[in-house]
Amino acid sequence: MVRRFYMLTNMIYFANSLTILITFFLLASAPTLGSQGTQSAQSTQKRPDAPQLAPYVPTGHDVVDRMLSLAGVTKADFVVDLGCGDGRIPIAAAKKYGARGLGVDIDPVRIQEANANLKAAGVQNLVEFRLQDALTTDVSNATVVTTFLLSASNLRLRPILTKQLKPGARIVTNTFSMGDWTPAKTDTFVDATGRTRTLYLYVADGKVRQ
Ligand SMILES: C[S@@+](CC[C@H](N)C(=O)[O-])C[C@H]1O[C@@H](n2cnc3c(N)ncnc32)[C@H](O)[C@@H]1O
C-alpha cells in the first residue's frame, strides 16, 4: 500500500515536471518564433532590381506642404510620389486635402515605414504604397506627380511622364529641375532648416519631352 502511494506520488511529480518543462519551452521559444516570422516576412520583400535614382533624404514637412500647395492639390487629385521614402507626401495630401495617393520606392524598409505611417495617419482608404521602380510605374491616372530625385533621374522620368500624363496634370519637383523644360512656376524660400530651397511646377500639355 505504502509502495503504491510512493509510485503514485512519483508519477504526479514526473507529470508536473514535464508540464513545467513544456510550458517553459513554449514561453521561451514564442518570441523567437515570432521574430523569425517577421524576419522571413521582411526577407520576402526583396529590393527590385532597379536603378538608384536618389539616396533617401526625407523632405521636411514644411516643404511637403509647399509642394502640395504649389501643385494646388484638392480632393479630386490622385497624387503619385515617385521614390516615396516614408510616404509623407501622399499621406499629407490625403490628410490635408482628402486626395488619393500612391507612393513607390525600391527600398523595402521605406515601404514598411510608409505603411506604418499610413496606418498611424488613418488614411489607408486613400493611399497605397508599392515596392516598385519609379521608372516602370504607370502614372497615366495621376493628376499630380511629385519627385525628390536627382536631376539626371528627373530627366530619365521626363519622357515617361510627359508621354503618360494627361494634359493638365502637374509635376512638382523638389530642388532638382526637369532640365530645359521651362517650369510653369517656381517657389523659392527658406525652409525650416534655414536652407534656401526651390520647388518646380510643370504642367503636362500632351507634348512628349525627351
Ligand atoms: C530623396 S528620397 C525622397 C523621399 C520622399 N519622396 C520625400 O520627399 O520625403 C528618394 C527616394 O527615392 C527612392 N528611390 C531611388 N531609386 C528609386 C527607383 N528606381 N524607384 C523608386 N524609388 C527609388 C529612394 O529609396 C528614396 O527613398
Ligand 1 atom closest to the Cα of residue 146 is 6
Backbone angles phi, psi at 202, to 5 degrees: -120, 145
**pLDDT beyond 70 at 15:** no
Structure confidence at residue 50 (pLDDT): 95
The grid coordinates listed for 39 are 524576419
Domain-wise residue ranges, the chain = 1-44, 61-203
Structure confidence at residue 25 (pLDDT): 28
Global pTM exceeds 0.85 = no
Structure confidence at residue 44 (pLDDT): 61
**pLDDT beyond 50 at 55:** yes
Q: Among 56, 65, 81, 111, say which to mutate for ligand 1: greatest number of ligand atoms within 8 Å of CB.
A: 56
Question: Ligand 1 centre from 133 Cα, in Å?
Answer: 9
pLDDT in tens, 17-44: 333 323 322 222 333 222 333 333 444 6
Question: Ligand 1 centre from 34 Cα, in Å?
Answer: 30
Residue 106 in contact with ligand 1 by CB distance below 6 A: yes
Q: Among 46, 105, 132, 157, say which to mutate for ligand 1: greatest number of ligand atoms within 8 Å of CB.
A: 105
Structure confidence at residue 48 (pLDDT): 85
Ligand 1 atom closest to the Cα of residue 52 is 16
Question: Ligand 1 centre from 106 Cα, in Å?
Answer: 7
**Cα-based distances in Å from 116 to 21, 44, 119, 122:** 38, 18, 5, 10
- Cβ burial, residue 1 (10 Å; 0-12/13-18/19+): exposed
pLDDT in tens, 164-208: 999 999 999 999 999 999 999 999 999 999 999 999 999 999 999
Residue 154 in contact with ligand 1 by CB distance below 6 A: no
Please give the average per-residue pLDDT across 130-159, as a whole number.
98
| CATH architecture for segment(s) 61-203 | 3-Layer(aba) Sandwich (3.40)
Question: Ligand 1 centre from 107 Cα, in Å?
Answer: 8
pLDDT in tens, 70-112: 999 999 999 999 999 999 999 999 999 999 999 999 999 999 9
